[in-house]
Amino acid sequence: MTTATLSQPSTKDPYPSRHAPEPQLVERQDPVVYGEPRGGLSALHRRAHETRGFLAFPGFLHADELRTYQEEAERLRTLDALAGRPEVITEPGGGEVRSVFEVHKLSEVIDRLSRHPKILNVVTEILGGDVYLHQSRVNYKPGFRGKEFYWHSDFETWHLEDGMPRMRAVSCSISLTENTPFNGPLMLIPGSHQIYVSCVGETPENHYESSLKKQEYGVPDDQSLARLVEAGGIEAPTGPAGSATFFDCNTMHGSNSNISPLPRTNVFFVYNSVENTLVEPFSGQKPRPGYIADRGDASPLVAA
């Protein structure tokens, strides 16, 4: 395959993908940190997020409140009433729960966590104003058999399959178990948020039905990944349960399979600016279901 070259974006769609026979690298056209300081981040944190595309905070949540969220995640994983629902994604080739989507609508406890003042202070600082939840889920990666999440930019999928117009969203991953180098922690490529990788391959209809188990379209090619890693390296934030990682919607990330006996569970929230609500998917296909990408109420979140 021909190595992708850095190119200027199209005037029609600044972030095209899955349309050309060869991958392309497109310069980011949007800010990373929006607006003036609002008190949610220090000047050092603002600069770090701007240049690296993510922030990691060990021990972000207090131990006293953490137990409530851990117990709720375990309750949801084993709740018979959720079995067979579309929001519940199982591991490829097995019946173990991989993710529970739209979890803030299934659990009052998780809903309160999504509106935690400490989280909202950070995301509204980064995005420059009010936000709503584009997506929420609990990810479970059990010991010994938890499968990988391959490298990807979330924005590429959200743009093509959901219709997110611009790069004005940020994800927050709250660790409910200790993240170690051995249990498949989140891995990120520093600086990758500044380059949009236009991927190869036409999106199949109802792609989400398989991609939530194992993504095969909208994933970067080997050469583009190698180029991003050569420039920025790879980092995997580790730390105790209750740690948080905030990362830009275009930061390239993934995680390895978990062959250790140590399970890894995290709550994952995607905050989108109320000024960046979804339009029709840029793939030209029908939108993904609401439990994956909320197309309904974009009212600003209020701290719990």
Residue whose entry in the numeric block shows the structure tokens 């300081």: 37
For strand 264-273 and strand 88-90, is the pairing parallel, antiparallel, or unpaired?
A: unpaired
Task: Say yes or no to pLDDT of 290 above 90.
Answer: yes
The closest alpha carbon to 191, from 218, 231, 159, belongs to 231
Burial of 175 (0-12, 13-18, 19+ CB in 10 A): buried
Q: What is the pTM of this model?
A: 0.91
- Per-residue pLDDT of 73-121, as tens digits, reads 999 988 887 888 889 988 777 778 889 999 999 999 999 999 999 999 9
Asked if 256 contacts 236 with a C-beta cutoff of 8 angstroms, the reply is: no
Phi, then psi, of 268 in degrees rounded to 5: -125, 120
Could you tell me the end-to-end alpha-carbon distance of the chain, in angstroms, rounded to an integer?
50
**From CA 179, how far away is CA 132, in angstroms rounded?**
27
Is the domain spanning 6-273 CATH 2.40.160.40? The answer is: no
Residues linked to residue 146 through DSSP beta bridges, in sequence order: 258
Q: How is the chain split into domains, by residue range?
A: 6-273
pLDDT digits (tens, 9 = 90+) for 134-171: 999 999 988 888 888 899 999 999 999 999 999 999 99
- Beta strand ranges found along 142-232 (DSSP E): 149-152, 169-175, 186-188, 195-198
Cα 280 to Cα 192: distance, rounded to the nearest angstrom: 26
> CA-CA distance, 115 to 37, in Å (whole number)?
20
pLDDT tens figures, 9-55: 555 899 999 888 888 999 999 999 998 898 889 999 999 999 999 99
CB 178 within 8 A of CB 239: yes
